[in-house]
Structure 1
Amino acid sequence: MVEEKQKHNATVLQISKEALQMAVKGKNETIFVVAVVKDRLLFQDKHNSSISNEIIAIDMGVSISNLKEPISMTFYHSDSQSPYNTTISASTLKSLTYISYIGCGISFFFLAVVLFMHTMLRRAKSDTSTTILINLCAALSLLNLTFLMNEWLSSMGNQVICNIIAATMHYSLLCTFTWFGIKAFYFYYLIIKLSTTEIKKIWMKMGAVGWGMPAVVVIILGGLKKYGEYKIYKEEGGTVSMCWITDPVVHYITNIGYYALVFSFTVVIFIVVSVKIFHMRKSNPRSAEGSKKNAFTLLGLACVLGITWGVMFFNVGPLQVPSFYVFTILNSLQGFFIFLWYYNSSSAAKAIDQPSEKSSHSGISNTTHCNPYDSTASKS
């Protein structure tokens, strides 16, 4: 019996008496070798996938076959990180990978177009809503870019590069979540009708929170060495690696937990704004012909508030694989949806601002409110 123990697992190899008798037959003695190969990169294929664990080889000096008593290998391992390390079929992984790369490539292109249009072609000064949207585009652009580069940089086998790309991708993800929340907070400002002066004062703090708070989190996690190689396991065997968070607790707190808080707030704002749109349609007969625009408005709202990311909460049981596909398709194309929203923002904004225009004629308010989607302010 040969036994190998590690920190989190053990391997017990039992060679049957029959196999030993066949090995020593006709010999005074026999030497058998058990080799454990730990460098899994030696067995990578053209898709950069590798064997899930160590490779065990047994050489007894002779060819042995037709054993009645098998050679037994027992593997003991810890399941402490099994919920975090995902296991899916090779075909599903391949499909999701193609969808992700194509979608993220399209998304990055259109986000770059939005940033170019805003920076180079826009002459008028941007309002707060547009500025928030542009910051969200910048965060999403960085997220898509780091994702597209991740597997290539991971295949280099350089730990420092892997840590940097993992930290950068995590930073861009946290920034994206934060700007979702800031966008929702801006809608809240429109609902309670703060003055323009008040929102400008708040905006300075928004910018610091949007880019500064994620940086603090990532720096702390980097100091604690929480970034490195993350493995996706195939059901058929083998793994695909990427550079990401290595501690499941950190992932659940900083990503799942943080997004759950942002999601709760953005959903409430989404419902309130949706109700206002439907009330406007009922009170104004002329708005019936704009039902398609209202539907587009709601779809755009869900996109810029990051509601579509909520699909991750259905990643359990039989819904796991379908949720992977829905999540991948919706969010890898998010940049394209934002481009359409940005391009059509002028017409979409009218569906939101009509209630505030009515209140302006009542003489209750004498405040200037900015459209949530357009650069043109609606004066009341």
Structure 2
Amino acid sequence: MASQLTDLCLRVVFVVAAVLSPGSTENDHDWTFCGTWLHGQQFLHLDLNLSPGCNGLSVSANESVLSINGQFTARCRRSDVIPLNQFGLDFEDHDFCLYWEPLQDQLKLQIGGENLTLCWPARPQGSCCTDLSLGSNEPEADFGIYKAMIRTDVIALKTFTTYTFNASPISCKTLCEQVKHKATQFNMVEHHAEDSCPDSLDLEIKDDFRGHNFTSLATRGVYEEPITTIYLPPALKQTTTMTSKVVITFFRNNTLFQESHKEVKILNEVVKITVENEIITGLSEPIRISFYHDVIHKRHPRKCVSWDTRTDPLQVKWLSDGCETQERDDEHTDCLCNHLTYFSVLVQLEPRPVRHLLALTIITSVGCALSVISCVALIIFLCRKRKRSKEQSLPIHLGLAVSLAFLNLLFFFSGVLANMGGEGLCTWVGAGLHYSLLCSFTWMGIEIFHTFWLVYMVFTPSPKPYVWNLVGFAVPAVPIIILASVGDIYGLKKVVPSDDVSNPYLMCWMKDDNEKALLAYYFTTMTALVVLVSSGIVMLFLVYQKIRVRDEWRQNRVAFLSIWGLSCLFGTSWGLTFLDFSPISDFVLFLSCFINSFQGFFLMLRFYMLEWMRKQATGSALGSNSTGSTRQQMLQTQEKK
């Protein structure tokens, strides 16, 4: 009895709020229904049965099927059963929202982080179906829709299997006028009155068609200014097989056209260009669409995109295929496209897209795989040599090889683990990757410090190996533990390719949409990198000053191997990270990617080359007391003095 009374009170509150709300005597130009789908542990499906009319709709759910049925569209007709597992929906309960826009005849379902377009946006003609009001709902059940809401108003706290909604027909023109009046009455400056009312222009393509220009006007302040202009070329007549009519529709309310990705955004108008009863592709002369939009800063790349509903009818995926982008200035973008469909301008927000991502990924994967194998071989080589030699630098070289092996191994599998394990696994993998990177930087710093010790403190014994191990492996763990305790730092990172901004590459690292992660990156990784590169360059100069007067330095291969090898040990190649600016950004990116991903291989090559050169010079075996290290070979005479 108490639960029934609670539900009745919620209904009364909802009805009273609807009656007392401003403009309640007018029809709603949009509608939103949300809830939580409580379902069973089985494969899920979406059942659609939509048709034109205005008899209302029903939303129902059971153990495995979410159903949307009714006559409430102007032109959309759809009967389909869609498996939802293809969108990554698991067996957990899912929140969903259903959006209905009668002035665009568009129905959209948001579920599991995906936006599914159930009715494509179009210009309704004649009658629109609106004012969807709550009707009856089925009794409480174990499976169904829990905590249903209309917009932000909760209408039930129980779990019901079905919700029905009554609707009222109205002239689309009248509804559009009501929306304009409502926007003017309540000073909706941020949402222009005409935004919800799509405009359409029709053009008959006759035998004498020689091209045509269209212009869409929009109110900006007290003036009407052209916001979009379209040029249809004569080639359009050659492509059509019969005398047809071109329909151009301008959609200014682009909310339902947005993708689910936060990194990209559709700006201003969306333009739909179609020819009745025909599919137009491969135009010999492209159509030209000139968009006038708000100022876009150069750090946010933009490109012309189109949505082909035939390729992916459920999801809005904007692609640049078949379109060329011409940026006239910060407020104008021209799109030259060789087909007809929906068009707009896609703006990349954050992070900045990466050019040539596929090539960079291949280089990194090959380099990391080869570096892991090389580091393992180098670890075996150094362990065997450590048994025969008491060289002080061997434990340091060994620590660097171990940290680089761990770093390259995690980086190689980062993309695979991100796609397999998702956010949960990436939290641990991202922390491990950050720890191995800081370990590598720390061991390179130890190499720098130990070289300084050999050169300038000859008669003072260096610290014991356990001290180096404590510094190299324990110190980097401190910031990782702190960041992990703070939380929300590590997880999925999306690397956006410039050629397909809607299909990012996933990896495990620090999150790119979190201010805490950004601060952690600069205070740990970038700070360590600045200290490492600056001290490495200084140490290279000091070592060069010491060894340039020796006889061995006059041998070209020794001189090259000395500086090249010490550069690898001192991590100075990471300094390329700070040179990422135009016009050499692409070259620096490829060079940095190649050198740093192959760093483990270069280190192995250095030590094996030094051992080979030592054998050539002395003819001795591995058990000799030679250091096997470039810097100690070059300083051996100086130390004896």
Match of 2:483 among 176, 198, 221: 221
Q: Which residue of 1 aligns with 2:589?
A: 324
Cα offset for 1:360?
A: 2.9
Measure, in 1, the Cα distance between the counterparts of 2:534 and 2:566.
Answer: 15
Q: How does 1:193-204 map to 2 (within 5 A)?
A: 193-197=457-461, 199-201=462-464, 203-204=465-466
Cα offset for 1:160?
A: 2.5
Cα offset for 1:153?
A: 0.8
Q: Which residue of 1 aligns with 2:549?
A: 279
Contact persistence 1:175–1:211 (CA under 8 A) = yes
Q: Which is higher, the Rg of structure 1 or of structure 2?
A: 2
Match of 1:335 among 600, 604, 626: 600
Cα deviation code 1:73-102 (max 9, x no counterpart):
44697999989724123xx10000110111
Gaps of 5+ in 2: 1-28, 33-72, 76-101, 126-199, 201-245, 265-298, 301-347, 512-516, 615-627
Measure, in 2, the Cα distance between the counterparts of 1:73 and 1:119.
Answer: 67
2:393 partner SS: helix
Contact persistence 2:382–2:394 (CA under 8 A) = no
Measure, in 1, the Cα distance between the counterparts of 2:390 and 2:252.
Answer: 70
Cα 1:218/1:33, change in 2 over 3 Å: same
2:506 partner SS: strand
Contact persistence 1:84–1:248 (CA under 8 A) = no
Q: How does 1:31-180 map to 2 (within 5 A)?
A: 32-35=105-108, 37=110, 39=112, 58-59=119-120, 66-74=246-254, 85-89=351-355, 92-120=356-384, 123-180=387-444
What amino acid is the match of 2:492? E
Match of 1:209 among 462, 471, 475: 471
Match of 2:533 among 260, 263, 276: 263
Match of 1:307 among 546, 568, 572: 572
Measure, in 1, the Cα distance between the counterparts of 2:610 and 2:594.
Answer: 23
Measure, in 1, the Cα distance between the counterparts of 2:480 and 2:454.
Answer: 32
Q: Which residue of 1 aligns with 2:637?
A: 357
Alignment identity in percent? 23
Q: Which residue of 2 aligns with 1:14?
A: none
Cα offset for 1:71?
A: 1.2
The CA RMSD measured in Å over matched residues stands at: 3.3
Deviates more, 1:143-152 or 1:119-128: 119-128
What amino acid is the match of 2:556? S
Q: Which residue of 2 aligns with 1:190?
A: 454
Cα deviation code 1:121-168 (max 9, x no counterpart):
653144221110110000000001101111111111443311111111
Cα offset for 1:184?
A: 0.1
Count of residue correspondences = 318
Contact persistence 2:540–2:567 (CA under 8 A) = yes
Contact persistence 1:166–1:245 (CA under 8 A) = yes
Cα offset for 1:291?
A: 1.7
Q: Which residue of 1 aligns with 2:506?
A: 241
Contact persistence 1:104–1:333 (CA under 8 A) = yes
Cα 1:292/1:84, change in 2 over 3 Å: farther
Measure, in 1, the Cα distance between the counterparts of 2:427 and 2:630.
Answer: 46
1:316 partner SS: coil
Cα offset for 1:297?
A: 1.1
With the length of structure 2 as denominator, give the TM-score of the two structures: 0.45
What amino acid is the match of 1:72? R
Contact persistence 1:106–1:336 (CA under 8 A) = yes
Higher strand residue share? 2
Gaps of 5+ in 1: 5-22, 43-53, 362-380
Contact persistence 1:294–1:351 (CA under 8 A) = no
Q: RCO (CA 8 Å, sep 6+): is it higher in 1 or 2?
A: 1
Cα 1:215/1:240, change in 2 over 3 Å: same
Cα deviation code 1:221-278 (max 9, x no counterpart):
1112210010111223221111101122211221112110111111100111122222
Measure, in 2, the Cα distance between the counterparts of 1:354 and 1:318.
Answer: 39
What amino acid is the match of 1:219? I
Measure, in 2, the Cα distance between the counterparts of 1:200 and 1:88.
Answer: 44
Cα offset for 1:279?
A: 2.3
Cα 1:212/1:3, change in 2 over 3 Å: farther
Cα offset for 1:318?
A: 2.8
Measure, in 2, the Cα distance between the counterparts of 1:170 and 1:249.
Answer: 14
Measure, in 1, the Cα distance between the counterparts of 2:420 and 2:458.
Answer: 52
Contact persistence 1:277–1:352 (CA under 8 A) = no
Measure, in 1, the Cα distance between the counterparts of 2:492 and 2:589.
Answer: 21
What amino acid is the match of 1:163? T
Contact persistence 2:547–2:634 (CA under 8 A) = no
Measure, in 2, the Cα distance between the counterparts of 1:148 and 1:219.
Answer: 23
1:230 partner SS: strand
With the length of structure 1 as denominator, give the TM-score of the two structures: 0.74
Measure, in 1, the Cα distance between the counterparts of 2:463 and 2:542.
Answer: 23
2:250 partner SS: coil
Contact persistence 1:154–1:243 (CA under 8 A) = yes
Q: Which residue of 2 aligns with 1:230?
A: 493
Cα 1:125/1:316, change in 2 over 3 Å: same
